Chain A
Amino acid sequence: MSKSVQAISQIGQLDGKSKITQLVSMLPKLLMPLVGILLFLAVWNGVSKSIDTSLGQFPGPAQVWEQSIVLVSEHNTQREKAEAFYERQEVRNAKRLAQDESYVPKIREFTGAPTFFDQIWTSLYTVMVGFFIASVIAVPAGILCGLSKSAYAAMNPLIQIFKPVSPLAWLPLVTMVVSALYVSNDPMFSKSFITSAVTVSLCCLWPTLVNTAVGVSNIDSDLVNVSKVLRLTPLKHVQKIVLPASIPMIFTGLRLSLGIGWMVLIAAEMLAQNPGLGKFVWDEFQNGSSESLARIMVAVITIGIIGFMLDRLMLAVQRFASWDKNSVLR
């Protein structure tokens, strides 16, 4: 996708005849993604017609498109309802204040069902928090493993054992631990949010940790020698040499982690009934109306697009953080 954008911007810089020849030579590059998508839609459309489920025919592209519009309008209606709800409260509060000046106005929160977009937002927020927690732990731990062979030897068995663990195995444990430890009368976050975020963190740790460790241990020995000759303190060594040198590998890890985190989150939300896109999918599945499958398909595509955008976001951050602006990032 970005390739075709690049191609277009390249063409924009040319003029006249060369522009046309350039355009012709670029045509396959520009068209092929489109051809791919159209082909997929055609196959999907054809196949879906011949699949009959207990919830009706499997949705084709047209039904899914229809449902995505329905989801948007449902969201808008819900928003209007919420606004009306708050407006009524304000009017009532104003009235009571006029009658009795000592009255302390109360605003109750709107408790309507979260819409598709609310769920997207919850999921995004949760994955970011989980990913952030994981990164804050994994990058320093990875640097430690990369710098010290003994630290690596000590941590390696743990990494190897916990890395392949599915989030769903962690989930019951995390749920119980969170409900046991996170006790507060006025909780800042809901328990379900913390459970999801921690589960995401547990799965996000490993790619960042491993890649950071590899990046740090592969720093050019000449640069390490420079640091030794200058007698840089360990902190300065990390700050001036290790971090800049291993930025590319750290980001490779972070991007893998965020991708895994996003996948894990959807599964965790489904299983644990935590709010978010996963819960949306599960609710629709339980709901079992004739539109459910199409609505789930909307969620599937949304999850994919958001995952793709998260990866592009990380790439942009990497471009910003990396000192080597010429390196090819993909």
Chain B
Amino acid sequence: MQNRHLELSQVGIDFPTPKGPFTALTDVNLKIKKGEFISLIGHSGCGKSTVLNIVAGLHQATNGGVILDGCEVKEPGPERAVVFQNHSLLPWLSVYKNVELAVKQTQKGKSKKDTRDWILHNLELVHMTHALDKLPSEISGGMKQRVGIARALAMEPKVLLMDEPFGALDALTRAHLQDSLMDIHAELGNTVIMITHDVDEAVLLSDRIVMMTNGPSATIGEVLEVNLPRPRDRLVLADNPEYNHYRHEVLTFLYEKQKKVEPVSNYKKTKQKNASKDSDAA
């Protein structure tokens, strides 16, 4: 039963184009245990987001399907809450109201006091209770992402889906939020699927790292089990040979086995991206 919490079987998706269907994904098979933290990593354009969107129900798989606790995923729903890359808070609602919308919608039976307590509890988890009445435009990017996570958690999701949640943040803020996320995961034990570009992030946070091959027709290339004891501390791990071994595995997959050949126009951009990545790693 434990092994059958979330199951992706033979998932594939075709997008219609004027030149005929474009196969973005094929044969994605993945079984996820309850409470497991999964990272999806791969080069841009490999369909990581598509996998996440299929699990979220925002995209419909052309082949295969997703089963969560014995029910097939057909449409989006709060039990599969999504944290979007660009926070996607409603800009006209305050921090509190943004979370309130989610709570009121998903837990309609709650009394007024319970609703308020639950909203505050979730904002407390991400340390955002000091900015309840601020609009999203009045807080920093990192704070917005925290509120986005609080909103997702407030839906009491079975699975938390995170689409590069920290991709747009600076390295320090990112590290901070990663620590927060580890604490929250330790406390609540949600199942998490997170997309990332960041090898360190993947190794630090995950129980398993799912590495994807390049598209078109992308699929799962390798799955790496990360058997580092929790709680994990980034400072201690920095010199840990096991940790560095895992990092090396992922880097080898990304830059040797699935080396991405970009068209010339994109070359510069990729170079810059890699450069910033290297400096992060250092």
Contacts and interface: CB of A to CB of B under 8 A. Distances in A.
A296 to B, nearest CB: 47
B91 interface: yes
B58 A225 contact: yes
B88 A223 contact: yes
B105 to A, nearest CB: 5
Contacts of B58: 225, 228-229
Given A323-B92, A326-B137, A225 B84 contact: yes
Nearest to B85: A222
B101 interface: yes
A230 B56 CA distance: 11
A232 B106 CA distance: 9
A245 B92 CA distance: 8
B30 interface: no
Interface string B222-260: 000000000000000000000000000000000000000
B90 interface: yes
A229 B56 contact: yes
Contacts of A228: 57-58, 75-76
A326 B135 CA distance: 12
A231 B84 contact: no
A225 B52 CA distance: 13
B59 to A, nearest CB: 11
B102 A225 contact: no
Interface string A297-310: 00000000000000
B92 A223 contact: no
Contact of A324 (B80, B84, B92, B106): B92
A240 B76 contact: no
B135 to A, nearest CB: 8
B217 to A, nearest CB: 25
30 contacts: A220-B88, A222-B86, A222-B88, A225-B56, A225-B58, A225-B76, A225-B82, A225-B88, A226-B82, A226-B84, A226-B88, A226-B90, A228-B58, A228-B75, A229-B76, A229-B77, A229-B78, A229-B80, A229-B81, A229-B155, A230-B78, A230-B155, A231-B78, A231-B105, A240-B101, A244-B90, A323-B92, A323-B135, A324-B137, A326-B137
Interface of A: 220, 222-223, 225-226, 228-232, 236, 240-241, 244-245, 323-324, 326
Give the 7 A-B CB pairs with smallest separation, nearest first: A323-B92, A222-B88, A228-B76, A244-B92, A230-B105, A229-B76, A222-B84
